[in-house]
């Protein structure tokens, strides 16, 4: 029997959209925005949406990096402290006169070194990703605190600030950066051999290895991605606050993982998508902002986020059984 060639690809895409996992969470996002929009009318104001979109883009960038390792059943807990380290590195380079573009590259390079260490330990030494990146979380944040003694670096050149504070076509620059990263991530995952192999490793690592694929090299490469993404996010955050703070990124690993899980990514590996992660990041950002606007105390906010994360996982589980 031959695979059917669809004569109407347009209709096919529409059908796929309705049936996809992402459509359900997208619906949840719209519903959520409507409810919050009614409860707190200033939520839908352009000023507020502008700020929310910028906030979401930071989380989205980190979560997109996280997606790659989660797809293979791995995890990266060190993204938050790598953010701080890369931001600090870039800021320091600028204060000693390195031009901003080079300083940014330097910051990303610092992050990549940390990612490479994670990758070697996970792929070639064979230590559990949870432990390796938990160690890196502690090491990188300690490195930042040790080098700066906890002081922020504040004298960042003004020419650097627009990458967080500027706008293009009415949208904040970070949103454009996140969109570009999302597009690259989507292409990498859905059209390249590298992406196919990433899903294959998550689906059955042994079978992938026995298909003649260099699983270790791919796993190593995969740990560079969350490091690069969180470095980028960390560096943009420096521009956002005019300074590099030692405690930047604290707890962001949880937000990133939560965004991925809410977006339908399985922590067991093998399933998840860029679109899902983006929607997951939006849901997180919208809820956080909505709670602030509805004047819910920040103590309760964390509790509510916790409920949302578990609820998302439960719904996903129920949907898979059905």
Residue ranges in contact with other proteins by CB under 8 A:
1-4, 191-194, 196-197, 199-200, 203-204, 206-214, 270-271
Write down the least CB distance from residue 192 to other proteins, Å.
Answer: 5
| Integer Cα distance of 82 and 102 in angstroms | 18
* Phi–psi pair at 171, nearest 5 degrees: -115, 145
Q: Checking phi first, is residue 152 left (phi over 0); if not, alpha (psi -120 to 50) or beta? A: beta
Write down the least CB distance from residue 119 to other proteins, Å.
Answer: 18
| Closer residue to other proteins (CB): 126 or 146 | 126
| Closer residue to other proteins (CB): 55 or 208 | 208
Write down the least CB distance from residue 152 to other proteins, Å.
Answer: 41
* Phi–psi pair at 167, nearest 5 degrees: -140, 155
Write down the least CB distance from residue 199 to other proteins, Å.
Answer: 7
| Closer residue to other proteins (CB): 35 or 193 | 193
Write down the least CB distance from residue 191 to other proteins, Å.
Answer: 5
Contact 81, 144 (CB under 8 A): yes
| Closer residue to other proteins (CB): 139 or 199 | 199
* Phi–psi pair at 67, nearest 5 degrees: -50, -45
| Closer residue to other proteins (CB): 138 or 214 | 214
Write down the least CB distance from residue 292 to other proteins, Å.
Answer: 39
Kindly tell me the sign of the dihedral angle through the C-alpha atoms of 106, 149, 157, 229: positive
Strand partners, 244: 153
C-beta atoms surrounding 290 within 10 Å:
22
Distances (CA, A) of 184 to 26, 152, 195, 249, 307: 21, 33, 11, 23, 32
| Closer residue to other proteins (CB): 17 or 310 | 17
| Integer Cα distance of 111 and 84 in angstroms | 9
């Amino acid at each position: 029997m031959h695979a059917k060639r669809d004569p109407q690809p347009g209709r096919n895409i529409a059908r796929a959209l309705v049936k996809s996992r992402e459509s359900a969470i997208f619906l949840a996002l719209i519903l959520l925005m409507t409810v919050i929009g009614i409860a707190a009318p200033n939520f839908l104001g352009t000023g507020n949406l502008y700020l929310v979109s910028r906030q979401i883009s930071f989380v989205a960038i980190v979560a997109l990096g996280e997606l790659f390792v989660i797809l293979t059943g791995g995890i990266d807990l060190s993204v938050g402290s790598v953010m701080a380290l890369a931001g600090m590195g870039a800021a320091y380079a600028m204060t000693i006169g390195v031009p901003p573009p080079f300083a940014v590259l330097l910051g990303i390079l610092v992050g990549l070194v940390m990612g490479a260490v994670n990758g070697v330990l996970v792929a070639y030494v064979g230590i559990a990703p949870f432990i390796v990146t938990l160690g890196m979380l502690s090491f990188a944040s300690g490195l930042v605190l040790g080098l700066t003694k906890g002081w922020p670096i504040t004298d960042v050149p003004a020419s650097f600030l627009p990458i967080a504070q500027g706008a293009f076509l009415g949208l904040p620059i970070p949103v454009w950066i996140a969109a570009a990263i999302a597009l690259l991530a989507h292409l990498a995952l859905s059209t390249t051999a590298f992406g196919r192999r990433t899903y294959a490793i998550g689906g059955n690592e042994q079978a992938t290895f026995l298909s003649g694929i260099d699983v270790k090299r791919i796993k190593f490469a995969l740990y560079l991605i969350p490091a690069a993404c969180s470095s980028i996010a960390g560096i943009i955050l420096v521009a956002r606050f005019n300074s590099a703070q030692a405690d930047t990124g604290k707890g962001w690993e949880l937000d990133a993982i939560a965004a991925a899980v809410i977006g339908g990514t399985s922590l067991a590996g093998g399933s998840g998508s860029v679109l899902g992660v983006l929607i997951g990041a939006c849901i997180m950002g919208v809820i956080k902002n909505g709670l602030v606007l509805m004047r819910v105390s920040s103590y309760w906010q964390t509790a509510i986020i916790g409920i949302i994360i578990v609820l998302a996982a439960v719904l996903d589980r129920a949907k898979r059984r059905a």
